[in-house]
Amino acid sequence: MRVLSIIASNIFSGPHNHDARLNDALARAGIETIVAIPDEPGDALTRLRAEGIRVITYSSGRPVKPLFKSAAHVRYLANLVGNVQAVRKAIREYKIDLIQLADPFHPHGGFAAKLEKRPVVVHVIGMGGSLMSRAMGSLITCRMADVILTNGVKTRDAYPGLKRLEARMLSYFSPIDIARFRPDAARRKAARAELGLAPSDMAIGYIARLHPEKDHQTCVRAVALVRNQFPNARLIMMGGLHPGCSEYLSSIWKTAEALGLRAGVDVIHKDAGTRVADLAQSFDVGWSTGIQEGATSAVGEAMALGIPVIGVGNSAVREMIEEGVNGFLVKVRDARELGLATSRLLEDEMLRERMGRASRERAARLFSTDVCASIHLQAYNAALAGFCGNGRESVDGRSPVRESDTARMRS
């Protein structure tokens, strides 16, 4: 069976990582994932192909330079027919059985699937955007999806009206390579040396691309507060700079300077690329301050490395962090609360170790690629059964998913 996964960006991020991590597990079940991305500047094409994934590209027609939102929407609509035709051609050429949309905001894949009479699985991965855009996403999802995969229950709740589609909805956590992301004393020592950390330094790490929605500003303000009690605390921002966000990085450095923090010493930026599993070993505490996150893989990766994590409680991250067991939950944009929770961990080594062990155990149980692949198999089976009738053979030879078998989300 072949799944065409349509991702609307060539900048490697969560959806690309998702397909890369699941590729081998799904292949063992007889599923080939082919990824379609726009022919635009970025690193996703190279990184996906390095993982052995077949990638096809199409011209999205998006402008190289950013436009005003209204102009960008007009431009997208003007190119919609061409994008639909490009996907239809790929469906025929590669004999695609099922279409998977990385998000509900780029519906050309869904239109193409319906015209070619193929079932559609739609991912809802984040809570970002305006209420209007989320309402539009809900409308598109309602119309197109045979099955909906949401990255956490809280993610679903951010989209108006989506909860009523619970009967054809499954929830999952982003897949983590548990064998690769595991605590390793030798790699930790090497990572800390590479980052210039002294043995006594306390490293607070945040794995996230540099983008305003990740709210690194609160992190900088919080580490300044933490350093009043722990002068050896260091903040490590581990992620690439999102295209078009150079001013955001500049604003971070300005905030740090105003608070008396030294760039490259007290606040360190490192684009780890494919080396996150190695360099994040340096962390003593993990942070996640994204304003409207799904159940982000960055938190899962930190947990798999045996690191206690402090995250914002208004997002789906609250489904990953068990309060007081493997970390703490704080309010959004609250540097003081984030600093207090962090100080509690830094002053108690036994608490850090206990929470770190709980993080690793929870990650191995809930976030492994095999667990995530199993949920996707359920989704694909359900989509095929619902689209073609219960008489259709499932993707792995098992009976199509019955309602009682699914991991349907409940309030």
DSSP string, 349-377: HHHHHHHHHHHHHHHHHHSBHHHHHHHHH
Provide the β-strand partners of residue 143.
none
Single-letter amino acid, residue 350: M
* Rounded Cα distance, 118 and 272, in Å: 38
Contacts of 252 by beta carbon, 8 Å cutoff, 6+ apart: 210, 216, 217, 220, 237, 267
Place of tokens 């990766």: 301
Contact assessment for residue 120 and residue 3, using Cβ atoms and an 8 Å cutoff: no
Give per-residue pLDDT as tens, 387-396. Answer: 654 333 444 4
Side-chain half-sphere exposure of 61, counting CA atoms within 13 A: 18
Question: What does the pLDDT read at residue 390?
Answer: 37
**Identical fold between 2-175+369-405 and 185-366:** yes
Specify burial of residue 302 (Cβ count, 10 A radius: 0-12, 13-18, 19+).
buried
* Rounded Cα distance, 102 and 121, in Å: 9
Question: What does the pLDDT read at residue 68?
Answer: 42
Contact assessment for residue 409 and residue 152, using Cβ atoms and an 8 Å cutoff: no
Specify burial of residue 340 (Cβ count, 10 A radius: 0-12, 13-18, 19+).
middle
Could you give the maximum distance between any two Cα atoms of the chain, in Å? 67
What is the end-to-end Cα distance of the chain in Å, rounded?
A: 34
- CA of residue 198 relative to chain centroid, distance: 31
Specify burial of residue 228 (Cβ count, 10 A radius: 0-12, 13-18, 19+).
exposed
Question: Average per-residue pLDDT in the chain?
Answer: 88
Taking the C-alpha atoms of 290, 296, 287 and 209 in order, what is their torsion angle to the nearest 10 degrees?
Answer: -60
Single-letter amino acid, residue 391: G
Average pLDDT of 138-157? 84
Contacts of 115 by beta carbon, 8 Å cutoff, 6+ apart: 84, 88
Selection from 185, 316, 241 nearest residue 42 by Cα: 241
Question: What does the pLDDT read at residue 33?
Answer: 98
Between 14-23, 127-136, 297-306, 325-334, the lowest mean confidence (pLDDT) is in 127-136
What are the tokens at 326? 């493997």
Q: How large is the angle between the packed helices 349-366 and 335-346, nearest 10 degrees?
A: 110
Give per-residue pLDDT as tens, 287-339. Answer: 999 987 888 899 999 999 999 999 998 878 999 999 999 999 999 999 999 99
The 8-class DSSP code of residue 57 comes to E
What are the tokens at 231? 């002068």
Domain ranges of the chain: 2-175+369-405, 185-366
Q: How large is the angle between the packed helices 349-366 and 297-304, nearest 10 degrees?
A: 120
What are the helix (H) ranges across 38-151? Answer: 44-50, 69-93, 108-115, 131-144
Average pLDDT of 351-364? 98
Question: What does the pLDDT read at residue 75?
Answer: 60
Contact assessment for residue 35 and residue 8, using Cβ atoms and an 8 Å cutoff: no
Question: What does the pLDDT read at residue 74?
Answer: 58
- CA angle at 237 for the pair 6 and 281, rounded to the nearest 5°: 90
The CATH number fitting domain 185-366, selected from 3.40.50.150, 3.40.50.2000, 3.40.50.720, 3.20.20.70: 3.40.50.2000
Question: What does the pLDDT read at residue 291?
Answer: 86
Give per-residue pLDDT as tens, 45-81. Answer: 999 999 999 999 988 765 444 434 455 555 666 678 8
Query: φ, ψ for residue 264 (rounded to 5)?
Result: 85, -10
Question: What does the pLDDT read at residue 138?
Answer: 77
Give per-residue pLDDT as tens, 230-240. Answer: 999 999 999 98
CATH code given to domain 2-175+369-405? 3.40.50.2000
Residue 212 has pLDDT above 60, yes or no: yes
Residue 107 has pLDDT above 50, yes or no: yes
Question: What does the pLDDT read at residue 396?
Answer: 47
Contact assessment for residue 3 and residue 25, using Cβ atoms and an 8 Å cutoff: no
What are the tokens at 230? 């722990």
Average pLDDT of 145-158? 88
Give per-residue pLDDT as tens, 216-257. Answer: 999 999 999 999 999 999 999 999 887 777 799 999 999 999
